[in-house]
Amino acid sequence: MAKRKKITNAIIFVVLLCYACLSLYPLIWVILQSFKTETQFLQSIWSLPTSLRLDNYLVAFDKGNLSVYFLNTVRNTAATLIVDLVFITLAGFAFAKMKMKFKTFFFYFILVNLLIPTPIILLPMYLLILDLGIQNTLAAIVFPYFQGFAPLGLILITNYLNSVPNELIESARIDGCNLFQILYKIVVPIAMPILSTLAVLGGMSAWNEFMWALISISDISQYTLSVGISIMRDKTSILGYTPVFAALSVSAIVFVVIYLFAQKTFVKSITAGAVKG
Amino acid sequence: MQSTAKKFWIDIKQSIPAYLLILPTIAVFVIFLYTPFINAIRISMYKYNGIGELTDYVGLDNYLIVLKDPKFYEAFFNTFKLIGADAILSISIGFFLAYVLYRGIPLKRFFSTSLFIPYLISMVVIGSIWRIIYDPTIGPINQLLQLIGLGEWAQPWLSQYETSLPAIILTWIWHTIPFNMLIIYANVMTMPSDFIEAAEMDGATSWQKLRYIIVPYLLPTLLVLLLLTVTTDLRAFDMVWVMTQGGPGGASEVITSYVYRKAFSSQNFGVATAASIIMMLIMLSITLTSQFLNRKKA
Amino acid sequence: MNRKLLMMLTAVVLMIVLAGCGANDKNGNNSSEAGTGDENVTLRVLSTNPLVSEESMQLFMDQNPNIKVTYEYVPSSDYSAKFAALAASNAIPDVIWTQAGYYTDQIKQNLLLDLSEELNGQNYEGDAVWSETFVPALLENSRGTVKKALGERDSYDYGVPFTMTTIAVLYDKSVYEQLGLEEPTSWEQFMSNNEALKAAGYTPLSMHNNWIDWYPRLFWDQYCRADLESNPNAFDEGAMTFSSECVQQGLTSFKELWDKGYLPENGITADLETMQQMFVQGKLAQFLIAPDKLEYIMNNAPDNMSLATYALPGIAGIPSRSLGGSSNVFAVSASSEHPEEAVQLLKFLTSKTHFTGIEALKYSNSGLVNLEVEPELAQFLAGFTNAAAGGFSPDILVPTNITTEINTAFKTDLLPRYLMGRIDANELGEQLQAMYEQAK
């Protein structure tokens, strides 16, 4: 019995190890390509780079204008996150813990977004931001991104807050805390883990978004990383492919690093929140 | 009668603080989702190539064009294949991985980190990489098959009718498994330990524990994951577009790539919008029916 | 209650602050700045051609200090989405890149400025008539496209061709020598070369997703040329359809290449990048390619490759013509507030000054009569020169690219299905015909 269990465990371990390689390999592959020369890359995409060349990164940052795009993307993502987190916390608390007539209606009012295919909104939304006169501003990026992320964010935070005992909030209210204080002093600290989860998920979608950034931004100095990378891909006949890999590595590694740091709270948040229908 | 009206207003009044809290979100949704969406509905009733004003009113013709278009059905069924495969495979593999992590395994930290990586990489990057992996001449799959003497199994995976959709689905699942794994793992961790202990006292086997305790405990979570899977897959686009653009010849066309092609490649915004709205109505009715049935059961 | 109000205000303020910040960045989009005749003019440019880059704009601005250019670049695969957004909002940039299907659609919608007068004026350097600086066949090709798609009209000049695109076959001489092959001068020889290359384990010919229609279009130029030259309006009048013999012949010849395994098996979905890799890795023997993509391969091919080019022989035995020609067009928006300056930029783009001033333009064929290519380059480019010498197949011959809708359906749906054997040439013809008639 014990022996059989050992064998099963060993098999599971090996399977998991293979699967982990499969999970890691594509990212590692991209990073490896970014150190190669163009010729090495073209001759074999499976060979290893011969040295830790940084030329491709220099080309990407210099000729590919990556530094500008990078900063723009950092700014857009940060602003989106602020709106995501503030708005979703407020709304999530209201949905989870407050008396609200027509609660279901308003909840579905937001959730319906999950059913609307994005491409059809692109054109009308573009006309809208022109009417509002906010093209090339942060608002034209932030609110559409928030709109896209809000349903998932709201589902996660509402579930999380549902599992927070009502007594905690009641007792604060009895202590004379007003709504704002309750939110600030009780809800936010409790919700910290889920907020960090939302930050990673929402940040990722803002960081990687491509289509809206491409269509809506008309000022090349405001372009984002994803748009910049696709432009680099288009210009490979001049720049080559390996700088594109350098750009991709930069773009991808940021969230991997953030995840590594956030990982602990990440799991804890969902544990505590326990997503239950 | 009067008292119900009165109660209604009292309810509303008491809800004001909550309304204030959801106001920013609702405001953004009214401005940045519903306004464009209503315009989209308007566009769906015009023949519109994206240039200038809406002038050519055609009523419901665009909807008829979509409903008569065999390509729409192809895209529709492909989307359902994606959803079906994703729901079954991704959630069950995610479940298996989460369960293994929960039971404990050497190098647990390494695994829980590395297994999550596919979810952190953008669809565009994933698509570009996997396209090379599937490439029949320079990609590793066929090279590997040839190496181990299975050369006749080598295929142009993404470029032939039978294999392109399955290949994309596989990549898609590779991307979604980690999310399901993480959510299930987190939830299984919340399970009170006395549940399991009691079962162990009764001499339950691992299988019995899994079957009679863990799965029922996780059922609500699995249902949420199912909902998220359906709604995410419905909007699958980037990866498909990068890998095959819906090709070859529509073999891997999904609803969103169909809509995108109609709108931006064929510049037929009316038809594209009509297709999206039809799809949306179908999904809405499925959702509502399942809700209704659920409630009836309960 | 006060506090609640405060919260609401915070939310509103937050929205306003966010909406406000960044708004005072230079907004290149507001057309209300600087009325006409003013000293400083800002032009907006939309390019998808990597050869027209920021460097080009900088050179232009240096030479025209009163004009400021805000330059926007979109990847060519996303041009349609970007342009749709710009057109829907009446915010088309002053100078735009365009191409056959888009070009004629844009003219039809009156979005482009008629340039016929300017073309009869001075060129950028002021030493010749602008229209006379172009290789005549090139300008003819561009005008023919407009005529074909839109019929007789007063002017056919709504844009100017930028570079002369020709396509020829790039190959590795050493492979040919090894197998005892020679540059084919007839179609039979070309096919037997393919057979030999295939037998030796190579993928004989290139093909990739965006240019999947190149072969049928080349074949149609051979099979249908006589018919369409004697009656250019044959499709319009219904004298010819997509089921006509010559059209079908072009399709079956393409299918034959595919069925014989001469085309890469990933050709329907693979992109240019993949073809380049296959070529450099010595897996692809012959690469049907345009010259602006050459430099990259030249720079990265291994030393043991000895590259050469030849013009593809005609399948029906009549003199072969190249595809391409005026496939890159630059035009001025009809709603431009600074048409004069915009035309000035157009003149610059198609000038000797531009082609000699920018390093990246070295390999491209300017399509200008007053510009010579370096001799050693000329020899390598012989295939392209020969291909161009035969003249160009009109951009729209068999009208699969007369509108973007038909073009999209043909390239992404019908042709792939046909190659995979899911529809036959008859059905393909009928479906195209139905779409063609609907478009009219």
Q: What is the ipTM of this complex?
A: 0.86
**Yes or no, beta carbons of B25 and A12 under 8 Å apart:** no
Structure tokens belonging to residue A234: 């288009």
Specify if A38 maps to a domain: no
Domain shared by B52 and B120, yes or no: no
Sequence-separated (6 or more) residues with CB below 8 Å from residue A209: A145, A148, A224, A226
Using DSSP, how many helices (H) and how many strands (E) does chain C show?
21, 9
Which residues in chain B have their CB less than 8 angstroms from residue A144's CB? 32
Measure Cα distances from C23 to A71, A132, A143 in Å. Answer: 17, 11, 15
Structure tokens belonging to residue B31: 């401005």
**Yes or no, beta carbons of A45 and B132 under 8 Å apart:** yes
Nearest CA to CA, how far is C50 from chain A (Å)? 6
Domain shared by B159 and B96, yes or no: yes
Specify if A48 maps to a domain: no
Local structure of B279: helix, strand or coil: helix
The domain boundary residue, chosen from B8, B30, B59: B59
Q: Token pair 């930029």 is at which residue?
A: C345
Domain shared by B129 and B53, yes or no: no
Domain shared by B120 and B167, yes or no: yes
Structure tokens belonging to residue A237: 């006949």
Q: What is the mean pLDDT of residues A100-112?
A: 90
pLDDT per residue rounded down to tens, chain C (440 residues)? 344 444 444 444 444 444 433 333 333 343 333 344 446 889 999 988 888 888 899 999 999 999 999 888 888 778 888 888 888 778 899 999 998 778 888 888 889 999 999 999 999 998 889 999 998 888 888 888 888 778 888 889 999 999 888 889 999 999 999 999 999 999 999 999 999 999 999 999 999 888 899 999 999 999 999 888 888 888 888 889 999 999 999 999 999 999 999 999 888 988 888 898 889 888 999 999 988 788 788 888 888 888 889 999 999 988 888 887 777 899 999 999 999 999 999 999 999 999 888 887 877 788 888 777 777 777 777 888 888 788 888 877 888 887 778 888 899 899 999 999 999 999 999 999 999 998 87
Angle at C127 between CA C125 and CA C131, to 5 degrees: 85
**Yes or no, beta carbons of B249 and C281 under 8 Å apart:** no
**Yes or no, beta carbons of A117 and B18 under 8 Å apart:** no
Domain shared by B52 and B77, yes or no: no
What pLDDT was estimated at residue A72? Answer: 95
Structure tokens belonging to residue C188: 């039979």
Pairing of strands C67-73, C41-47: parallel
pLDDT in tens, A194-208: 888 788 889 988 998
Strands (DSSP E) contained in B53-161 are 56-57
Q: Is A188 on the interface with B (CB under 8 A)?
A: no
Separation CA C97–CA C174 (nearest Å):
39
Specify if A189 maps to a domain: yes
Measure Cα distances from A21 to A25, A27, B100, B116, C194 in Å. Answer: 6, 10, 17, 12, 41
Query: Which segments of chain B have a pLDDT < 70?
Result: 1-2, 297-298
What pLDDT was estimated at residue B290? Answer: 77
Domain shared by B231 and B177, yes or no: yes
Specify if B263 maps to a domain: yes
Specify if A30 maps to a domain: no
Residues 260-319 of C with CB under 8 A from A: 273, 276-277, 280-281, 292-293, 295-296, 299-300, 302
Specify if B64 maps to a domain: no
Separation CA A203–CA A224 (nearest Å):
14
Domain shared by B52 and B84, yes or no: no
Domain shared by B32 and B108, yes or no: no
pLDDT higher than 70, residue A270: no
Q: Is C6 on the interface with A (CB under 8 A)?
A: yes
Please, what is the average pLDDT of chain A?
85
Amino acid found at C100: A
What pLDDT was estimated at residue A118? Answer: 80
pLDDT in tens, A51-93: 888 888 988 888 878 899 999 999 999 999 999 999 999 999 9
Candidates A11, A115, A126: best to mutate against B (most CBs of B within 10 A) is A115
Q: Which chain B residue is nearest to residue C284, measuring alpha carbons?
A: B137
Domain shared by B55 and B173, yes or no: no
What pLDDT was estimated at residue C148? Answer: 79
Q: State residue B84 phi and psi, 5-degree precision.
A: -60, -50
Q: How many domains in chain B?
A: 2
Question: What is the CATH number for B285?
Answer: 1.10.3720.10
The domain boundary residue, chosen from B30, B59, B88: B59
Range of the domain at A83: 54-273
Q: Which chain A residue is nearest to residue C26, measuring alpha carbons?
A: A219
Domain shared by B26 and B139, yes or no: no
Specify if B65 maps to a domain: no
Q: Which chain A residue is nearest to residue C293, measuring alpha carbons?
A: A237
Q: Which chain B residue is nearest to residue A267, measuring alpha carbons?
A: B186
Sequence-separated (6 or more) residues with CB below 8 Å from residue C296: A236, A237, A238, A240, C276
What pLDDT was estimated at residue B298? Answer: 57
What per-residue string of b and e applies to C92-107 under the rule 16 or more CB within 10 Å gives b? bbbbbbbbbbbbbbbb
Other beta carbons less than 10 A from residue C266's beta carbon: 29
> Across chain C, which distance is largest between two alpha carbons, in Å?
92
**Yes or no, beta carbons of A147 and B12 under 8 Å apart:** no
Which residues in chain A have their CB less than 8 angstroms from residue B260's CB? 119
**Yes or no, beta carbons of A43 and C88 under 8 Å apart:** no
Structure tokens belonging to residue A182: 């309750």
Specify if B1 maps to a domain: no
Which residues in chain B have their CB less than 8 angstroms from residue C84's CB? 50-51, 263-264, 267, 269
Domain shared by B114 and B156, yes or no: yes
Which domains are seen in chain C, by residue range?
42-164+325-385 (3.40.190.10), 168-324+394-439 (3.40.190.10)
pLDDT higher than 80, residue A24: yes
Q: State residue C68 phi and psi, 5-degree precision.
A: -110, 140
Q: Which residue has the higher pLDDT, A139 or B217?
A: A139
Separation CA C370–CA C290 (nearest Å):
22
Name the residue facing A87 among B24, B40, B105 (closest C-beta).
B24
Amino acid found at C3: R
What pLDDT was estimated at residue C9? Answer: 46
Specify if B8 maps to a domain: no
What pLDDT was estimated at residue A267? Answer: 63
Separation CA B64–CA A202 (nearest Å):
38
Domain shared by B179 and B267, yes or no: yes
Specify if A206 maps to a domain: yes
Specify if B265 maps to a domain: yes
Specify if B7 maps to a domain: no
Q: Which chain B residue is nearest to residue C281, measuring alpha carbons?
A: B138
Q: Are A100 and A106 in contact (CB under 8 A)?
A: yes
**Yes or no, beta carbons of A117 and B43 under 8 Å apart:** no
Separation CA C303–CA C310 (nearest Å):
20
Range of the domain at B28: 16-59
What pLDDT was estimated at residue C299? Answer: 82
Separation CA C208–CA C214 (nearest Å):
10
Q: Give CA torsion, residues A69, A75, A76, A77, to 10 deg.
A: 110
Q: Are B159 and B136 in contact (CB under 8 A)?
A: yes
Name the residue facing A179 among C3, C48, C276 (closest C-beta).
C3
What pLDDT was estimated at residue A110? Answer: 92
Specify if A18 maps to a domain: no
Q: What secondary structure, in 3-state letters, does chain A show?
A: CHHHHHHHHHHHHHHHHHHHHHHHHHHHHHHHHCCCCHHHHHHCCCCCCCCCCCHHHHHHHHCCCHHHHHHHHHHHHHHHHHHHHHHHHHHHHHHHHCCCCCHHHHHHHHHHHHHCCHHHHHHHHHHHHHHCCCCCCCHHHHHHHHHHHHHHHHHHHHHHHHCCCHHHHHHHHHCCCCHHHHHHHHHHHHHHHHHHHHHHHHHHHHHHCCHHHHHHCCCHHHCCHHHHHHHHHHCHHHHCCHHHHHHHHHHHHHHHHHHHHHHHHHHHHHHHHCCCC
Specify if A155 maps to a domain: yes
Per the document, the length of chain B is 298
Q: How many domains in chain A?
A: 1
Specify if B236 maps to a domain: yes
Q: Is A134 on the interface with B (CB under 8 A)?
A: no
Residues 267-296 of B with CB under 8 A from A: 269, 272-273, 276-277, 279-280, 283-284, 287
Nearest CA to CA, how far is A51 from chain B (Å)? 22
Name the residue facing A276 among B22, B221, B264 (closest C-beta).
B221
Question: What is the CATH number for A212?
Answer: 1.10.3720.10
Q: Within 13 Å, how many C-alpha atoms sit on residue C437's CB side?
A: 10
What pLDDT was estimated at residue C26? Answer: 36
pTM of the model: 0.84
